[in-house]
Amino acid sequence: MAVASAKTFQWQSLAPLPTGRVYCAPVESGGQLYLIGGCDQTGTPTSSCEVYCPEADQWTSLPPMPTARAGVAVAALGKRLLVIGGVGLHQRPLSTVEMYSVEEGRWERRPSLREAAMGVSITVKDCRVYAAGGMGTTMFPQGLLQQYDTLKDVWLPLPAMPTPRYGASTFLRGSKIHVFGGRQAKCPVAAYEVYDTETRSWTKFPSIPGKRTFSSYVMTDTSFLSLGGLQQTHAYRRPKFVRTVEVFDIEQGGWMKNERCLNMRKRRADFVAANLRGRVIVAGGLGNQPAVLGSVEAFHPVKKKWESLPAMPTARCTCSSLVFANRLVVLGGVAQGPSRAVEALYQSES
């Protein structure tokens, strides 16, 4: 794929959410975008379930989840949406699993997780859902790996992750699930571990060179990138925002030596990141400024440098996002409070 010129990227404002939301979960199914759960203006978990129709630029409310919650993990299984764990009305992790049938328009309870968990990381492969880690009711991170078999409607225990954590980033490449980062309580995790779905075994890879919270991870055809975040330099010093980019070369099997030219232009954490049209995109978040960021950058893999893109119409952090119909769609998040904004970054024809 040819690398898109920075000048061809534009933002489009889509129909806003019915209510401001944060910690909501977007997922695509059948060419439509679904948004599930989240926290409202008061910080209360919601049972909202909505679908976005691109042709009409319109959100439609669907039957609400039986269990109100935020920070859920969602897996699209054909015309069914599996909603896993999260935080409930009493601000406690849940073991609840519910499934929404797109065709029937109704919810059903499914077998619960073995333990209550928030911050579970989900991967789908061959009609199986893999749920890794999470933080339970004890507030300790989990190393659990569980597999939901959609045909047998049962959760099966698998070998545990070597490093317990929650909020990790996972990527499926072939038959292997790559797990990066995450947290243990408030502390960042630098572990990089890979689960082989065929041999049912874990392999430890070289750790991420820098420990940072609120960083983002992106997979490209040739590499994995660890981007930005908050770095704690010393135990009693205030964490600092960084613009560091670290690259794991898949062919060489190791982290490349850090080159300053690879670093982002702005220091940022808690931002959106994605691989779009041959570019790694970063947008919004928090930085050294007192206000949230609206700036956007794109990395050119040939020129080996970051280029500025048009800013987000609504500056914000803690957003939900996904690549949908060749667009990076950014939903909700925090501006001055929970935001209703839905905006899409796309490449224009000219």
pTM: 0.95
* Residue 210, pLDDT score: 87
* Residue 303, pLDDT score: 86
Enumerate residue ranges in the chain where pLDDT < 70. 1, 233-236, 350
* Residue 5, pLDDT score: 87
* Residue 302, pLDDT score: 84
Indicate the domain borders of the chain: 9-347
* Residue 236, pLDDT score: 63
Question: Which two three-digit tokens encode residue 234?
Answer: 């010393």
* Residue 350, pLDDT score: 57
How wide is the angle at C-alpha 19 spanned by C-alphas 16 and 23, nearest 5°? Answer: 95
* Residue 237, pLDDT score: 72
Of all residues in the chain, the percent with pLDDT exceeding 90 is 85
Q: Name residue, tokens 């501006």.
A: 335
Q: Which amino acid is at 46?
A: T
* Residue 317, pLDDT score: 98
* Residue 23, pLDDT score: 97
* Residue 186, pLDDT score: 85
* Residue 238, pLDDT score: 79
Instruction: Order across the sheet with 121-125: list the strands.
Output: 121-125, 128-132, 145-149, 154-158
| CA distances for 141 relative to 93, 290, 304, angstroms | 12, 31, 37
Question: Which two three-digit tokens encode residue 152?
Answer: 């047998």
CATH of 9-347 given 2.102.10.10, 2.20.25.90, 1.10.3720.10, 2.120.10.80: 2.120.10.80
**Three-state SS annotation for the chain:** CCCCCHHHEEEEECCCCCCCEECCEEEEECCEEEEECCECCCCCECCCEEEEECCCCEEEECCCCCCCCECCEEEEECCEEEEECCECCCCCECCCEEEEECCCCEEEEECCCCCCCECCEEEEECCEEEEECCECCCCCECCCEEEEECCCCEEEEECCCCCCCECCEEEEECCEEEEECCEECCEECCCEEEEECCCCEEEEECCCCCCCECCEEEECCCEEEEEEEEECCCCCCCCEEEEEEEEEECCCCEECCCCHHHCCCCCCECCEEEEECCEEEEECCECCCCCCCCCEEEEECCCCEEEEECCCCCCCECCEEEEECCEEEEECCECCCEECCEEEEEECCC
* Residue 234, pLDDT score: 66
* Residue 191, pLDDT score: 97
